[in-house]
Structure 1
C-alpha cells in the first residue's frame, strides 16, 4: 500500500494544498516476486469534518487497510472549516476544488478510472454535507455519494442559529463560509434544491448516522426527502454518537456498499501468507 502526500498549487484556492492519497500499487506476488494490481483504479474522494484535516481518516480509521483489500484509491484533501462550498466574495472555491479540480489533478497524476461508475465521494459531518452537495452538483463525475453523520443543518444556517464555532456576529461568520447565508435556501449549497434540480441525474446515495448523534433527526429528514423524490438511497442507523468509533465502523459499511473489487489476496505488512 503506497501512501502519497501531494503538495500542489490549487487554482481554486490560490494557494498550496496538502492531499493524502492511498494507492494500492504494491500488491506483491511472492511466487513471482512481482507487483500485480488492476488499473485503472476506482477512486473514493474522502472528506474530513470540522476541525479536521487531510490526515484525519488515516489516523482515526482503518481506511488504509480496507482500501488495500479492495484495490481502491482514496484521496483525502484538507477543507479547513469551510464546508466544501464556493464563496465568490472571499474567492475560496472549496466546492470546485473537491468536485472538479482535485478529480482532474489526481486523474492526471495517477492511473485512475475516468468513469462515473468508478468515482465516489464521501465524508463525515461537515464532509458529509460537502460530499452530498458536490456529489449532486457534479453528478456527471460522481456515481456514488456517502454521508456519515452528515451536517445537514441548512435550516440552522438560514435562520442564523448560533454555530458550533462561537462568533460575536453569527451572520458574518456564516457569510465567510456560504457567501450570503440569507440566500442559501434554493442555492447550489442547498441539498434539497440540488435534488430537485438534478432529479433525473442523481447519484446513488448512502446515509448513516448514530442513534445518539444530535444530527439524527436531520439525517432522517433528508433520507425521507430522497425517498420521496425516488433517489436510489441506502440508509442505516446504528449505536454511536458523533465520534470516530462510529465512523470507523461505518466507513467499512460504505466500502461494502460501493461497487468495488473482491478482496485482494497478496502479501503485505498485515497479510503474511
Structure 2
C-alpha cells in the first residue's frame, strides 16, 4: 500500500461503512477531569506528563476500578486510539468506563487499570515520516514507568496487555512485537499494516523468534479500507503457524464497529491475566476477492 499521511488524515475524518459515509463525532464539551460512576469506578481525564524526550506536555486518561487502593497492585490494559484522535476517545465514543464496569461485575475480568495515552498523529513511533517526535522512546522511557508507578501496576508481562484500532492497531502490533517481553497479548482492530512511513508489520514479526512473541487477534469489518492488508497478514501468520485469531465481520472503520469489539478485548484481557493458555477462537473466514 503506497499512501501518504494526508490520505490517512482524510480516511480518519471520513468513516466508511458499506452503505453510508459518516462524519467523525465531535466532542463539544471537555469531559470532567474526574468522572465517577455510581458503582465507584473512576476515570481521570487529561492527566499530564511533562516529557523531556518529546519536549511538551503529554496527556493520558486512566480508568480505576471501584475500590481502587494504593495498597494493592493491578493488571493493566493499554488501549491506543486512531489517527488524529486523543486520550479521551475510548471513554467518549466507546463508553469504556461502563463496559469495564460490566466486565468486572460479570467476572469477565478482575479489577484492573486501563490507560489510554494520547498518540496524536505520530503512529506511536519515533520520527515517523520525517517528523521529529520520539513517541516510542517517550512511551517506554517516560510514560510507562511513570504511570505504572503512580497507579501501582503489577510489573510482570502476564498482567500487561495492549490493544488499539487503526493507527492504534499498528501501535499495538508494533509495541507488542518489538517489546515482546512486556506484553502478553495484542488485540488489533482495523489495523494499519503498512504504508504511512511505517514498516510492514509482518517484516517486523520476522525479526524475532516466534516462540517469544505474544498471541494476536486481528479484527476488522468487511467494508474497512484496511481489510485486504489485514487479510494478507492473516495468511502470512497462518503459513508461519503464528498463534492468532482473525475475525472478519460485517462493519466499517468506525466506532460502531470498534465498540462491539471492546467486550471481546476485555474478555481476552481477563483470560490472559488468569494465565489461561492460548486457544484459537472461532475465526470468521469470509474472504475478499484479491
Quote the residue 1:140 is aligned against: 181
Q: Deviation per CA, 1:242-263, whole angstroms, max 9, x where unpaired?
A: 010100001211211223579x
Q: Cα offset for 1:108?
A: 1.2
Q: Cα offset for 1:17?
A: 0.9
SS of 1:242's equivalent? coil
Quote the residue 1:246 is aligned against: 257
Q: Cα offset for 1:37?
A: 10
Quote the residue 2:222 is aligned against: 211
Q: Cα offset for 1:43?
A: 0.7
Quote the residue 2:137 is aligned against: 96
Query: Equivalences for 1:54-93 in 2 at 5 Å?
Result: 54-68=87-101, 69=104, 70=109, 71-87=111-127, 90-93=131-134
* Structure 1 residues 256 and 38: CA distance shift in structure 2, 3 A: farther
Query: Equivalences for 1:76-225 in 2 at 5 Å?
Result: 76-87=116-127, 90-154=131-195, 157=196, 178=197, 189-200=199-210, 201-225=212-236
* Structure 1 residues 99 and 210: CA distance shift in structure 2, 3 A: farther
| Structure 1 vs Structure 2 CA RMSD | 2.2
- Report the number of matched residues: 223
Q: Cα offset for 1:99?
A: 4.3
TM superposition score normalised by structure 1: 0.75
Are 1:206 and 1:254, in contact at CA under 8 Å, matched by a contact in 2? no
Q: Could you tell me how far apart the structure 2 residues matched to 1:84 and 1:137 are?
A: 12
SS of 2:54's equivalent? coil
TM superposition score normalised by structure 2: 0.71
- Residue segments in structure 2 that go unaligned for 5+ positions in a row: 1-40, 275-290
Q: Is 1:13 matched with 2:59?
A: no
SS of 1:258's equivalent? helix
Quote the residue 1:271 is aligned against: none
- Residue segments in structure 1 that go unaligned for 5+ positions in a row: 28-34, 158-177, 179-183, 263-273
